[in-house]
Amino acid sequence: MSTYRIRQGDTLSALASRFKTSVSELARINKIDNPNLIYAGKSLRIPGHARNDSFEPSKGGGTRGGGTKGSDGAGRSGGTKGGGQVNESRGTGNSGNVTPAMRKLATAGRAAAMSIGGYKSQGLCATGVSRAIQNAFGFKVWGNGNQIDNNLPRDKFKQVNMSLAEALKTPGLVLTWEKTSSRLGSIYGHTAITTGDGRSSVSDFIESNTLGAGGRSGLKIFRPTL
């Protein structure tokens, strides 16, 4: 048994994969009630490794604890209990975990955005996302920005727990927000598809800095499983 100091960006699922164990086993031996919530700076006991194994970053390396508990859509920090919730850094963000379906959806999303508004919002985010899904997979998802999350077929999309910053590094994820800061956005929310460049997302237009878009809340992230 050895220990690992949790870093900002880690998730229990990614660490379980890295250390060749399971989420349930890590949760059990570390007495973690909610596997989706771990804290940067805390020590995690790792089964199956010698005590002298070192998983610590070299001096000056790594990321210091903090970060967010969940996400407010704008990626702002709001740490609690001396550490922040740690979300995906390995998981779907790894190129090895980006599926052809995800790449196909990202490409379809960009094409839909360019065909509707280009780089200027037309207030038709759900139309752009729905068109992209239909062009990529052959079926349509109805609803406005804050309804699409409930209408995504669960046999084809899976909700994932990760920060907005990490989601934007992964192509082909569907983002939904319950509310945004605009008048219509406060009623209909917003939805978009990630491009994987770490900054932009697409819907009825290409939003070049999604991470910097403030006033959004109720973020949910979905990964196609086709």
Q: What is the CATH number of the domain that holds 181?
A: 3.90.1720.10
> 55 and 126: one domain?
no
**Separation of alpha carbons 102 and 167, rounded Å:** 12
> 113 and 78: one domain?
no
Does pLDDT of 184 surpass 50? Answer: yes
The residue from 71, 93, 115 where one domain ends is: 93
Tell me which of 48-62, 120-134, 135-149 is least confident.
48-62
> 6 and 20: one domain?
yes
pLDDT band at 109 (very low <50, low <70, confident <90, very high): very high
Range of the domain at 175: 98-224
> 179 and 104: one domain?
yes
Residue tagged 């999350």 (tokens) = 149
> 54 and 107: one domain?
no
> 219 and 129: one domain?
yes
> 131 and 159: one domain?
yes
Joined together, the tokens standing for residue 196 give 């994987």
> 210 and 105: one domain?
yes
Tens of pLDDT, residues 152-172: 999 999 999 999 999 999 999
Tens of pLDDT, residues 72-101: 333 333 333 334 444 433 334 444 489 999
Average pLDDT for residues 134-156, to the nearest whole number?
Answer: 92
**Separation of alpha carbons 169 and 201, rounded Å:** 10
**Amino acid at position 136, single letter:** A
The CA R_g of the chain, rounded to the nearest whole Å, is 18
> 135 and 183: one domain?
yes
Does pLDDT of 114 surpass 90? Answer: yes
> 105 and 69: one domain?
no
**Separation of alpha carbons 60 and 217, rounded Å:** 34
pTM of the model: 0.60
The rounded mean pLDDT for the chain is 79
> 119 and 198: one domain?
yes
According to DSSP H, which parts of the chain are helical?
12-18, 23-29, 100-116, 125-137, 148-151, 164-167, 183-188
For the domain that residue 19 is a member of, what is the CATH number? 3.10.350.10
